[in-house]
Structure formats: C-alpha cells, structure tokens
Structure 1
Amino acid sequence: MNSIFFKLSIRKLKKTKVYSITNLVGLTVGFTAFALIALFIRYEMNWDKSHEKYDRIYRVQIRNTNAIHPTSGNNISPHNRPVTAQMIERQFPEFEKVTVINEAGSTFLGTDAEHQVHDVKGIYADTCFFDVFSFSFVGGEQQHALAQPYSVVLSETLAQKLFNKTNVIGEFVLLENKHPLTVTGVYRDLPFNSSLRPSYIISFSSLKPLAGVDRSSFWAKDCMVYTLLESGVEAKNAEAKIQHLFAAYENLKFGEMQLCPLSKVYLNFNDSNDYLIILKLFGLIGVFILIMSGFNYVNLSLAQASMRGKEVAVKKVIGSRRWQLVLQFLSETVGVCVVALVMGLVATAFLLPLFNSVVDKQITFSLITDWKFVLSLLLLAVCVGLLSGVYPAKFMAASKITTLFKGNFLNKQRDTFSLKKALVTFQFAISLFLIVLTASFSMQIRYVANKDLGFQRDGLLYSELNASGNRVDFYQLRDRLLQHPEIVDVAMSKNFPFVNQGGGMTNWEGGDPNEKVTCRFNTVSYNYFTLLNTNLTAGRNFATAFSGDVGKSCVINEAAAKCFGWDDPIGKRVNDNQLTIVGVVEDFIYHDMHNPVEPSVLILAPNEIEGNWVFAFRVREDGAVHARNIITNELKMAFPNDPFEVKDFPSAFNSEYSFKIYHSVNKTLLFFTVLNILLAVVGMFGLVAFVVARRTKEIGIRKINGSSPLGIFHLLNREYYLLLLLAMLVAFPSAWLVYTSLPSANKLPAQPWIFVMGTGLLLLIVLVSTSYQTIKAATRNPIDALRYE
C-alpha cells in the first residue's frame, strides 16, 4: 500500500510541475529561514557553554543599594575588589574555587621594539583561573602556567601573530615594549560565543610589581571575581551568605554581593532584557516565515484539490475508502515537506557563511554533530505536511461522488473560500509587517549614525598611550604640535567618547550622604571642551589663571545637575565635598548610542603626563594624512619607549557595541525580509496560476463578450486589493507596537511615510507576482481558452 501511495505521489508531482516546483521553492525558503534563525538563537543562548563546569560558574558582582538614578538602567557593577576572593575562600566552604581577573585593556605585545601587536583582549588571572574555566592547552602545563610573576599564556592565534608558530614555550614577549614576559603555555582559541575570550593571560602576581595590586588589595576596584560553587549548592543560598560581605566597612556597606550565573553574563547580567527582546523578535520572524511558507502550501493544496475532484470521484467509485484517500493526500504533503526540508538544510549550509557575515557571528552547522537539531526540524516538517494536507484531504474524502464529478466544487464552498482569503491576508500582513519594521530600523540606523553627539566629530584623531619614563609636559608637547597648520587643537584626558569610559559613584551637597549617583569621572586638560567644540551653559571653563583648579574644581554636565536637583550648580560641591563645581557643560554622548546620557564629573588634569592617557587631535580634513604623520613623529620623540597607534575617531564610533548591534539587527531584518518577499512572490505566482487555470473558460467567454485585457487583468487581481487593505489593519498596529517597544534612548519616532511606502512596495510585489499569469490569461486567444478541456 505504501509503495502505491509513493508511486501515485510521484506521478502527481510530475504531472503538475508548476505546482510541485512552487511548493518546493516556497517550503525550502521557509525551512532555510527558520533553520538560520534557530541556529542564530541557539548560538546566542549557548554563550560560555564550552566550559565544562558552566552550570556551577558565577560572577561575583556588586549591586549598589544606595545608588539613585542608576545609569544605563542599572545599579549593578561587574567589577569587584581583589580581596573579595580571599574573603570568600576563607569564610565559605560552599565556594569550591574563587578566581580574580583584571582586564589588561588596550596594550601592545611584541617580540622586539619593531614587531608589536596591538591587543585589547588580554587579562591578568590568578592560579585558580584554569580550575574554574576550561581551556585546552597545546603547549605548557596548565597547572603551573600562571604560578610565577611575569608569566604569560598565549592563544594559538596570538602566538602565530607574534612568532609564526605555536611551539613557543620559554620564549619572551615584551609588554608595552618594556616588561619581558615568559611564555609558559599556549591554548586553543575559545569559541567566539565566550564572554571571556582572552587572547593572552598574564599571571595576576605580575600586577604587584607593575601596578601595586595583588589578591589582598582592598581598594583596587576594577577586577572581576568568578567562583565555582560546590556540586549541589544552591546559588541563592550561597549568595545570601556573601550578600553583606563588606557590611562591616562603613564606606562599603551599601555594596551587596550578587552571584550572576555564567549563562547571564552575556545576555543580561544586570537584568536588562534589551537583547533578549531582540532575540524574541528574531524568533517571531522565524515562526512568521515558516507559517507563511506553510500557508503558501495550504493555499496551493486547496487550489490543487479543487482540480482533483474527478480523480477522487473515480477512486471512490472503484472502492477506495475514506482513510485511504486521506492517507494518500497526507503522504503527498508530508513527502513534499520532507524533500523541501532536505533542500532547506543544503541551502542553510550554503548560506551560513553569508549569514555569519551579516550577523557578525561564527555559527557552525553539521548534519552529524547537530543531529538533534536536524531531527527536530524533521519532526517539524512532518507536522507542517500534516497540517497543510489535513483539511483538503478530509474535505475531499468526505465529499459526495456526484459533487466531485461536477468539478471546481470548492468555488461553491464558502468556508474554503474564506479560509483562502484568511491565509492570503495573513501572508500579506506578515510581509507588510517585516517591510515596515525593516525600513523603520534602517531609518533608525541612519538617524543614530547622523545624530548630533553634542560635540564636533569631524576631523578627530586619537591615540591611547601608557606614558612611562621621564615625565613630559603636555602643554609643551601641545605647543609643538600646534606649530603645524594641519593640526588645529590637541587635548588629553583619561577617557574619551566612544574610546573608553571611567565609572564611579559620588554624593552631592544637599543630598543624603548615604545616597550616591553612578556617574562617569574623567580627568581632562584645560582645552578639552574647546577641542570637542562643546559649550558651557553655566559657570566657566578650567583656566590657567585659576591655579587651584587642579584636584579641587570640576565641571559637570547637565545630566549631573539634573540628577542632583540643582538649578544653579556653580559653587556647590560633590564627592564628599572634595570638588567644587565651577562650570556646567552641555550634555554630549560619550558612552553609547543606546542609553541616555549619564551624569559626568570632569576634573582638571596636571600638566605632566604619566600613566595611561588618551590624546585627542583636531586636524584639518584636507591635511589629515600629513597631520597623522606629524602626530606620530612627535609622539615617538616624546615617548620613545611607549608603543601607540593613531586612529580615526569614526573607527571608535562605529565599533561601539550598541551601534554594532543596531547594524547587525538591521542587516538580519533585511536578510529575512528579502526571503519573506521571495516567499510572497512564489506563493502568489503559484496561487494565481491555479486561479487562472480554474477560470480559463470564464476568461474566454468574457473576452468573447467584449472584456478588454485590462478588464481581465483587474478581474483576476481585484480580490487581492481588499485583502491587502485588511492586512494593513493587522500589520500597521503590530509593526508600530514592536518598533516603539524596542528599547533605545535615541530613537527616531515612527515615520508615517514608511507605512505608506511599505504598502506601495507590497502592492508592487503582488502585481509583479501575478502579472505574468494574469497578462497571459488576459491576452490569450479566447478560442484556445474554450478548448482548454
């Protein structure tokens, strides 16, 4: 019996080639899109799972209970004090291992003064690090790799960059061209979806001679502490024990310890669900596209069923039972879905490199290792096939033989006609929803990219530098640079917009001493605001005439004044009354394009340069290349032993995390909207082909009676105009609700013209999809039409 059904199905597919190809293409596109989105979501939800003890690893972070107006939507800091690890180890046996790490930041490593590699992903880690996290070593002993000061472990990629080989145990690497480090190990690169993915790891004990920090340091606040809980220990119980770890210290009693599972470190460590909303949106799009391909199949199955009445009637006459007819229909639809799934998996593997470049990920797919994923898709394909075929199969099997022999009986079935309309309307709604949402997000990207940052971004260069050796007077260096007409201004600061940010907490005059605001601290030169070309709204700028400004005065931004509740901030004090406010600067964006502008406190820098600084240069755009060469030469002379790199400001702006997310989301939406449009075209083409075939005689008679080709064209398309109108009533509120729900402090309001444009584009898609069949039918010789059967 199964072989008979198989033969009949193959024969039917061959007989109706247009129907078969249309269904296969539509379902293949649907399964491909669904598989790509599913792989993407699985990838994002599986960050850090390469570590064997993933489910027992937690980051110890701090929740500031006395912080009001928390910035970036949270009052949680991922950073901690090194001594936290020792305090937990000594007091709480529930914690099996506790490790301390410190991000190395922007550094240079090299084999000599000439061969330097700029890297921003290095860390310092203690000897417990490899007991908590899983690394695969290809050289050296993991157990003792970080035991001694000035030891470094390299990733395979960095080892290749530095030495052109990975067998480098015992070799030396220069840190910042000054400190020799001994290579004690080489490890395989971690997967891209790892929140801790260092390119090199220096022993934590090296920080003692380099920066005066060790595991017992109390006031160093820029480390991170990770812990491995004992098996069977409940995280909530362990967190309750360390929650008030620093309660005995007056200045630290408001910092509560919190355990953040490794699974949330990337997605939402501060309980901000912004990115999870994006993932849910992608999941919804995947489901929509699969539903749309299924609806295409149902529509075409209904259309095809209406042309198979006589076939079913003959089978009933010769004795076929109802269950046999149902089984035949279902075997056909399930078989087509399974074939489409196989083609979809092939297309997924083919398109995955392109998709990875769109979403900036390294998603992998293998039929062997991902057999569970493939099996789930297979079950889904069977379900789609059953759902697509069950209605026409049941309806045809239950119909009377006399009705079936009359042909085209589905035209008279009001419920079937309504079902087709509902499916087409929903398809239109999905297409319109995606078109409007994608266009809106594209406009949002354009809006953010061109938004006024509050300072002049054109003509800016910058360089991060760790100055050592003899102290250099900044203003003497600045005067030398300004002698060149290509250079307009030079400033220095500890932090710079979109390059790096300093964080801290402060109280303010007139406020509760126990309440603090999280804000951005920065130390800047006199002319910092002049270089940025931003204005002061109250008070004065730092000036050489006020020698007492250094270390005692500060300028705050408007956001800080608003947080403190001051109408006239000049003369008031912040930070335990240590800093007097002398000016208020206009808000300018310096952190990211997603969150609102945060309160900022800017302090005057000393004249002499020592330690880590960011130098900013405003240059004439017509002489930018020459200016870069001048700056490079001057910095080399001033800091001969300190490596650096002069960069364009746009590179920092475009690399900002939220801006990259915006671009990734926009490209992903565009990618799947194109696939959705392809589905709409395929579905409409197939549906109209069957409508034309079913109404061939009617068209011939109408032409004989004087109908024009334009009239025939309108006749075949007019029902879609009403369905498109109904789709607008569904799609417009949905797209508006989703777009307005997407979180962002710098959001372009929904633009009405985008909705109009989306409707026009969808109407054009419908007309293009149907034009070939409808024009062909409208211009066909009526004699040929009457001879159709």
Structure 2
Amino acid sequence: MLYNYLKITIRTLFRNKLYTSLNIAGLTFGLTCFLLIGLYLFDELTFDQQHSKADRIYRVIEYQKNKSEELTIAATSYNMAEESKKNIAEIENTSRITLIGRDNISSPESKTKFLETIGFANQSLMEIFDFEAIDGTAQTALQEPNSIVIVEELARKLFNTTHVVGKTLKFDFLEAPLRITAVLKNHPSNSSFDFNLMISEATILHDKQFSENMVNDWSSHNYMVYALLKENANPQSVSQKITRFVLSHQKPEAGTTLRFRLQPLADMHLYSEDIVDGAKNPNVSATQYGSFLYIKIFALVAVFLLVIAAINYINLTTARASNRSKEIGVRKATGATDSHLIKQFLFESLLVTLMAFVLAFTLVNIILPTFNTFTGKHLSFSLQTDYRIWLYAILTTLSTAIVSGSYPALLLSRLKPVALLKNVKLHSKTGLSLRKSLVVFQFTVSVVMMIATMVLFLQVQYANNKNLGFNKDLLVVVDINSGQVRKEAETIKTEFGKIAGVNEVSVTSRVPGEWKSIPTVKVKTEGNTDNPQVAYVIGADENFAKTFEVQLLKGRIFTSLRDSSSIILNETAARALHIQEASDQLVEIPEMAFGGKYFPVNESKKPFKARVIGIVKDFHFQSLREKIAPLVLAYSQNPVQNIDYFTARIEGKNIQNTLKQMENTLIRIDPNHLFEYHFLDQQLARFYADDQRRETLLIWAALATIFIACLGLFGLATYAAEQRIKEIGIRKVLGADVLNLTALLSRDFLKLVLIANVLAAPIAWWASNLWLQEFAYHISLSWWVFAGAAILSFLIALATVSYQAIKAAIANPVKSLRSE
C-alpha cells in the first residue's frame, strides 16, 4: 500500500511541477527560519543547564526598600553565605564569589602581561558547579592558599598550552605567586559564568583586615552567593528562613525593609533585568542578560512563519481540487474508501514536507556560520546535536505535514464520485472563504512584521542619533589601570594636551554615557531634615565641560584643587534639592554606595560637606532606557571614587598616530601599564547592540514571511488565471484591453491585502507601544509608518499577482477558445 501511495504521489508531484515547487519552496523557507530561530531559542532557554545539580542551585538575591529607593541586588554578605549553611537544614552547601578589580597577570615563562579581572571563590564553587577540568582536578582546585584555576583560553594565551598545572602566575598586586591547580574547559556560550580565572579564597583568609571584616560581615554586598538546596527542599521556605536568620544578626536602619529570595539558576539569564549585579568591581561591565519578552516574540515569529508556509500548501491544494476530480472519482468508483484517500493525501503532504526538511537542513548548515557570528552563539545542527533539538525538529516536521495535509485530505475525500466523473466544477463557498481567510491571515502577519521592523529600526536610529547633551564624537577614553598612572594623572593630562592631534583632555571617575556601574550618594541641603535625595556621582576635573561639551547653565565650573569640596549639579538634581541658583549653597553627603548597601563617606562617619558652584544642563550619562536621574559632579579628588579615565577630544586626522603618542606618554610614566582605550561613540552603541541584532533578525523574518506569503499568492493567482482563461479570451474578443483584464484578475487579491492591513494596524500599534515602554526616551508612532507598510504590502502583492494577470491578459484568445 505504501508503495502505491508513493507511486501516485510522485506522479502527482511531477505532473504539477509549478505547484510542487511553490509548496516545497514555501515549506523549506518556513522550516529553515523555524529551525534557525528554534536553535537560538533553545540555546537561550537552556542557559546554565550544563550543571548536573542545576535544578537545586539558586542565586541568593537581597531586596531592600526604604523611603528613598528600592534595591534588588545579586549579592550579600560573607556570614550570610557561611553561616546559613550551618544553621538552615535545607541548605546543603553555599559558594561565594567576589570580584575586586583588574590587574596585570603574567607567567615566569613570558614577559607578556594581560589585564584580567581578579576573582576570589571558596572551594564550594567547584563542588556545586560542574566546571570541567582538562588538566588537574576541579573539585579540589581551590582548597589551598595561593592556588588559582584558569580557563583553557587564558592558559593558551600565557603558555601556548593547556597542560600547565603546577606552573605559577603572578599578579602585580600580590607578593606571592599563585600555583595553577586546574585548567577548566572554556565556558559554553550559554553559561552565565564568564570568568577567566578564580583565586582560592584561602589566599586572603590570613589577611588581617579581611579577617576582621569577615567576622562581623552580615550586611555587605561583597559576595555573589549560590546555594545548593537538598532534595525536595522548598526554596520559598528557605528564603524566609534566610531572611529571619540574617535579621537575627543584623538590624536594618529604621524604615528599611530587608528580605531575601532564591532565584533558580535556570532563571538567571532571562529574569534578571531588574536585578543589580552585585559583588562586581565597578570596572567590570555588567553581565548582558537575555529577556523572556524577546523569547516569546521570536517564538511567535517562528510559529507564524511555519503556519504561513502550511497555509500555502492548504490554499494551493484545495484550490486545485477540481483538477483532480476524475482521479478521485475513478478511485472511489473502483472501491477506494475515504480513509484510503485521506491516507494518500496525507502521504503526499508528508513527502513534500520531508523534502522541504532535507532542503531546510542543508540551508540551515550553510547559514549557521554567519548566523553564529552575528548572534555571538556557537549553534550547530548535525547528528551530534542535542537529541532534544532533533526531537523538536522531527515533531515539527510531522506536525507541519499533518496540519498542511489534513484539511485538503478531508475535503477531497468527501467528494461524490458521480459528480466527479461528470467533470462538474467544484465550487465551495466554505472552501473559498477559508482560502481568503488564510490569505488575509498571511498578510496580516506580514504587515505586523513590517511595522514592527520599521519601529525597531527607527528607535535604534533615534538612540544612536539623539542629542545626548554632550558631544560623543572623536572622544577617546583611556582606562587608568595602575596606581602610578593615577598618581601622575595631572602630568599625563598635561602631556596628552601637548600632542598635536589632541584638543582637550579631562580626568574623570566615570564618563557620560557610562556602561559600568556608577556610584550613588545620599545628598541634602544643609540643615534639611527631610529624607536625603539619591543621586549618581561622577568625579570630574576643570576640563570636563570643555572636553565633553556639556552646557553650563548657572554658576561656574571647577577651576583647581581648591574646588575639592565643591560640586556641580545637573538640572534634575538641582530641582530635587530645590536649588535654583548656584551660589555656594552647602549640601551634605553622608553616605555612598556602589550598587549595594550605603555606608559613610568618611571614616569619621561625618557627612562630606560641599558647596554648589554650578548647574549644568541635563545630559544622558546612562542608556536611553533610563530616565535622566539626579547627578552630582564632584571634583576629581573627591571622597567617593578615584579617577578612572582620561578622556581626550582628538582631531579626525592621523588618529592612529595620535593614539600611538598617547600610548608612549603612558609607558614613560609606567612601563607596565597596558594602553587600553576605546572611542566613546562606539562604546555607547553597545547599549543598543542587542536591539540592532533583533532589528536585523526581524528584518530577515519579515522578508521571509512576505516571501512565503507571496509564493502562495503567486500560486493562487496562477490558478485563478487558469480557471478564468476562457472568460479572459471572451473579454478580449469583445474589446477588453490588457489593463482592464489585469485589474480584473488582481482586484480580488488586493481586497484581501486591504483587509489584512486593517487588521494588522491596531495589533502592530499595540505591540509597538508595549515594546517602546522599555525606553524612557523613545520615538512616537507616526501614521506614515502604518501607511508605508500598507503601500509596501500592496505593491508586493500587486507585483506578485500582476505577473500572472498580465501573462493571461496578453495570451492569444484563439487558443483559449479553440475548444469552444
């Protein structure tokens, strides 16, 4: 029976080569897009699942709320981690990680130095997580003092080999060398861990200051803590026990609410948008998390692409039902049952879908290298790929075949043999209405995709081109990575200024448009008993306004070291403090924070008193997703944060020569200092890199949607022209011209596109507005976006239909009427 089905299917497919090609092409494109998006989503949804205990591992999140702010931070104290596992029965183990900055690392075998982030962790990190060691034993690698684990990439960088256990490394900030105890396999792309090295916590346990701080540390945010719960433990109950346990040892300030919760390891990547990454040095960029919103969006896009391809198959198969009337009639007359016919048509659908899958598999592997480069992933689709991906791919292919073939199979199998053998044309109002509805659905999805793509493109362009309140062009930001360079900052700044290609130079703790964490302070006017305002703080020198071209509104800028107790406010901070003029008003700054708990500015615990000498126009010192917040510009030598950057405004000519001279200047001061720089405008663009990637993905998905829909429209237009060939011949004989005939054949299809636009507009408007709420500053939706999408969809549909319409209209009527 299967052989018979196969033989009939092959004959049918070859007899209708055009429609077979259209169906296979549509399904191939649909499956290709579905598989590519599916591979991407699978990678996102399986983040951190490579650890065998992943379902029992949780990140400890601390939540604080008071009258002035709310803080959700992925960091907590030493004792919370150490003591909770001893006192809460459900906790099997806890691990701690703390990052303290960057320093030069080198090996005795090489004079080459690299800047690396310094991380300390206790041995439990290697016990809880499955970090695979390619040299040494991970499970015991962090037990001893002065031991370090590194990843294979860093091992090759330093030694050109991964067999380096027992060798030593040296950090500039540590006197003793560190012995390598394990080399870990590079972290997979779908891992939240990205460290290149980790030093044993035992290395600093003997440090007197560390030991003293550790004993009483119940309130700091110095550690990222992961808890491994016992089997069947309730994480919500454990969270409550942790909260009660910590509160029994630490009393928060009056009016402050403190509680803890456990975030599943599997949720870290997609559900951390509102969580501050704690225990991280401010010099380390924040982890780029994913977003479950975009997971849902792209999952819907993938499904719609596949559904649109299936709709093509349904439309073309049902439209051509009458062309198979005699075949079906003969088979029914000779004893074929409805079930036989249903199996036959489902078999045809399955074979076409399988052919499309083979082509899609080939296309995916051709596209994947480029796709991986674009997304920063390491996706693959081969026989070695995770069995779950193959399971989804096979189920998707079978489902597509069944969905595509079911309606045509049921429709064709119900036809009566007598009517079929009399060659009665099949006209079903239900079938016609369904086909029209499916075409409307296809173009509704296509138009929504077009509008969404245009909105995303316009928002990214808006973000990249918006006036930020400072001039970001030709600004070179040079990192300060050593105490010697920091000490000689004024000398270096002066030398930079002497370089021919350098116009202005400023020294700051942070830069406008900062991508790293910016410290905050509590500030209030002297004598004010109200709750202090929370403001960000950036240390700046007297050249700040000139270098960044920030507009001074009132007062003056810094002049020299005598302004070390002076501050400048942005407009938002001035409004919050009710300061309208900069006239040396005294303000108090009692506390500061680096993304965590507030602590006194001075060791004496007395507020830092400063004079307000200026007010500058608001400028965007964070992403456009963030509303401009109060900002305090303190003099570069301030008690909150040391200087961290030189920023030079340079000429657009001979840039490489200018950079080389700047590097030579630094090396003269500190030969071990690595010249690390970037252009500010390029760094700011990274704020929206994910949006640009999504924009590109949406553009390709929209093009694929339109292409698949047009394949179906082309097939239906071809069939409509064939069905009306005699009518067209008669009309031509009676004097109809090509334009009239083309309009006649195109009109019905363009009506469907019009209906699709009417349906798509409100859906796209709602979805676009919802997405734009992510940005504090965004575009307004304009009518021309919707009009442009409508016009484009009409032109695409007209171009698709008119080819067949014109072809039929210019045909010789004698040929079509000869049989009459």
Tell me the equivalent position of 1:435.
Answer: 450
Q: Does 1:300 align with 2:316?
A: yes
1:463 is aligned, of 478, 485, 488, to 478
Which segment drifts farther, 60-69 or 129-138? 60-69
Cα gap change, 1:518/1:314 in structure 2, threshold over 3 Å: closer, same or farther?
A: farther
Q: Distance in 1 between matches of 2:94 and 2:532?
A: 29
Structure 1 contact 333–385 (Cα < 8 Å) conserved: yes
Structure 1 contact 177–643 (Cα < 8 Å) conserved: no
Q: Distance in 2 between matches of 1:603 and 1:258?
A: 36
Tell me the equivalent position of 1:729.
Answer: 758
Structure 1 contact 505–516 (Cα < 8 Å) conserved: no
Tell me the equivalent position of 2:224.
Answer: 224
Cα gap change, 1:283/1:167 in structure 2, threshold over 3 Å: closer, same or farther?
A: same
Q: Distance in 2 between matches of 1:45 and 1:518?
A: 36
Tell me the equivalent position of 1:162.
Answer: 158
Cα gap change, 1:119/1:66 in structure 2, threshold over 3 Å: closer, same or farther?
A: same
How far the C-alpha of 1:105 sits from its partner, in A, is 4.4
Stretches of structure 2 that go unaligned for 5 or more consecutive residues are 276-288, 592-606
Q: Distance in 2 between matches of 1:685 and 1:788?
A: 27
How far the C-alpha of 1:445 sits from its partner, in A, is 1.2
Deviations 1:52-76 (A, max 9, x none): 2111222222212116455xxxx21
Q: Distance in 2 between matches of 1:4 and 1:575?
A: 87
Deviations 1:28-82 (A, max 9, x none): 1111211222222221111111122111222222212116455xxxx21223333
Corresponding residue SS for 2:747: helix
Cα gap change, 1:148/1:168 in structure 2, threshold over 3 Å: closer, same or farther?
A: same
Which segment drifts farther, 252-261 or 274-283? 252-261
Which segment drifts farther, 143-152 or 93-102? 143-152
Q: Distance in 1 between matches of 2:632 and 2:179?
A: 40
Matches of residues 196-275 of structure 1 in structure 2 within 5 Å? Answer: 196-206=193-203, 213=210, 215-216=214-215, 218=217, 221-244=221-244, 245-246=246-247, 248-250=249-251, 254-269=257-272, 275=291
Which segment drifts farther, 422-431 or 744-753? 744-753
Matches of residues 420-499 of structure 1 in structure 2 within 5 Å? Answer: 420-469=435-484, 472-496=487-511, 497-499=513-515
Cα gap change, 1:69/1:639 in structure 2, threshold over 3 Å: closer, same or farther?
A: same
Stretches of structure 1 that go unaligned for 5 or more consecutive residues are none
2:305 is aligned, of 280, 283, 289, to 289
Structure 1 contact 467–610 (Cα < 8 Å) conserved: no
Residue identity opposite 2:142 in structure 1 = L
How far the C-alpha of 1:270 sits from its partner, in A, is 5.3
Tell me the equivalent position of 1:409.
Answer: 425
Which segment drifts farther, 232-241 or 203-212? 203-212
Structure 1 contact 47–195 (Cα < 8 Å) conserved: yes
Corresponding residue SS for 2:105: strand
Structure 1 contact 100–226 (Cα < 8 Å) conserved: yes
Structure 1 contact 62–78 (Cα < 8 Å) conserved: yes
How far the C-alpha of 1:260 sits from its partner, in A, is 1.8
How far the C-alpha of 1:177 sits from its partner, in A, is 8.6
Deviations 1:185-211 (A, max 9, x none): 211011111111212222234457999
Residue identity opposite 1:427 in structure 2 = Q
Residue identity opposite 1:679 in structure 2 = I
Structure 1 contact 472–638 (Cα < 8 Å) conserved: no
Deviations 1:407-464 (A, max 9, x none): 4733x32222111111111111111111121122112111111112221111211121
Q: Does 1:312 align with 2:341?
A: no
Structure 1 contact 176–643 (Cα < 8 Å) conserved: no
Corresponding residue SS for 1:617: strand
Tell me the equivalent position of 2:711.
Answer: 682
2:770 is aligned, of 737, 741, 755, to 741
Tell me the equivalent position of 1:94.
Answer: 90
Tell me the equivalent position of 1:619.
Answer: 650
Q: Distance in 2 between matches of 1:136 and 1:693?
A: 64
How far the C-alpha of 1:166 sits from its partner, in A, is 0.8
Q: Distance in 1 between matches of 2:302 and 2:485?
A: 60
Residue identity opposite 1:484 in structure 2 = I
Q: Distance in 1 between matches of 2:49 and 2:534?
A: 32
How far the C-alpha of 1:236 sits from its partner, in A, is 0.7
Q: Distance in 1 between matches of 2:691 and 2:77?
A: 33
Corresponding residue SS for 2:559: coil
Q: Distance in 1 between matches of 2:196 and 2:457?
A: 34
Q: Distance in 2 between matches of 1:38 and 1:262?
A: 22
Q: TM-score normalized by structure 1?
A: 0.91
How far the C-alpha of 1:299 sits from its partner, in A, is 0.6
How far the C-alpha of 1:682 sits from its partner, in A, is 1.7
Residue identity opposite 2:27 in structure 1 = L
Tell me the equivalent position of 1:374.
Answer: 390
1:649 is aligned, of 676, 680, 684, to 680
Tell me the equivalent position of 1:779.
Answer: 810
Q: Distance in 1 between matches of 2:309 and 2:626?
A: 38
Which segment drifts farther, 512-521 or 568-577? 512-521
Corresponding residue SS for 1:642: coil
Q: Distance in 2 between matches of 1:146 and 1:516?
A: 44
Cα gap change, 1:76/1:423 in structure 2, threshold over 3 Å: closer, same or farther?
A: same
| Equivalences, count | 778
Q: Does 1:340 align with 2:356?
A: yes
Tell me the equivalent position of 2:568.
Answer: 555
Tell me the equivalent position of 1:580.
Answer: 610
Which segment drifts farther, 97-106 or 207-216? 207-216
User: RMSD over aligned Cα, in angstroms?
Assistant: 3.1
Residue identity opposite 1:555 in structure 2 = I
Cα gap change, 1:139/1:518 in structure 2, threshold over 3 Å: closer, same or farther?
A: farther
Which segment drifts farther, 190-199 or 201-210? 201-210
Tell me the equivalent position of 1:62.
Answer: 62
How far the C-alpha of 1:728 sits from its partner, in A, is 0.7
Q: Distance in 2 between matches of 1:194 and 1:610?
A: 32
Tell me the equivalent position of 2:599.
Answer: none
Structure 2 contact 107–170 (Cα < 8 Å) conserved: yes
Cα gap change, 1:619/1:211 in structure 2, threshold over 3 Å: closer, same or farther?
A: farther
Q: Does 1:704 align with 2:729?
A: no
How far the C-alpha of 1:612 sits from its partner, in A, is 6.7
Corresponding residue SS for 1:42: helix
Tell me the equivalent position of 1:672.
Answer: 701
Deviations 1:68-114 (A, max 9, x none): 455xxxx2122333343223244323322222212354544333785
Tell me the equivalent position of 1:38.
Answer: 38
Q: Distance in 2 between matches of 1:42 and 1:689?
A: 39
Structure 1 contact 696–788 (Cα < 8 Å) conserved: no
Matches of residues 528-607 of structure 1 in structure 2 within 5 Å? Answer: 528-544=544-560, 547=562, 549-550=563-564, 552-561=565-574, 570-575=585-590, 577-580=607-610, 582=612, 583-606=614-637
Corresponding residue SS for 2:198: strand
Tell me the equivalent position of 1:760.
Answer: 791
Deviations 1:582-610 (A, max 9, x none): 14433322332323233333332329999
Cα gap change, 1:555/1:665 in structure 2, threshold over 3 Å: closer, same or farther?
A: same
Which segment drifts farther, 765-774 or 103-112? 103-112
Cα gap change, 1:511/1:335 in structure 2, threshold over 3 Å: closer, same or farther?
A: farther
Q: Distance in 1 between matches of 2:345 and 2:208?
A: 75
Q: Does 1:52 align with 2:43?
A: no
1:185 is aligned, of 169, 182, 185, to 182
Q: TM-score normalized by structure 2?
A: 0.87
Matches of residues 505-524 of structure 1 in structure 2 within 5 Å? Answer: 506=522, 508=524, 519-524=535-540
Deviations 1:586-639 (A, max 9, x none): 332233232323333333232999977222112222353333222212211222
Corresponding residue SS for 2:320: helix
How far the C-alpha of 1:519 sits from its partner, in A, is 4.5
Structure 1 contact 466–610 (Cα < 8 Å) conserved: no
Corresponding residue SS for 1:6: helix
Cα gap change, 1:408/1:611 in structure 2, threshold over 3 Å: closer, same or farther?
A: farther
Corresponding residue SS for 2:681: helix
Structure 1 contact 67–517 (Cα < 8 Å) conserved: no
Corresponding residue SS for 1:744: coil
Percent identity (aligned): 28
How far the C-alpha of 1:669 sits from its partner, in A, is 0.6
Which segment drifts farther, 191-200 or 558-567? 558-567
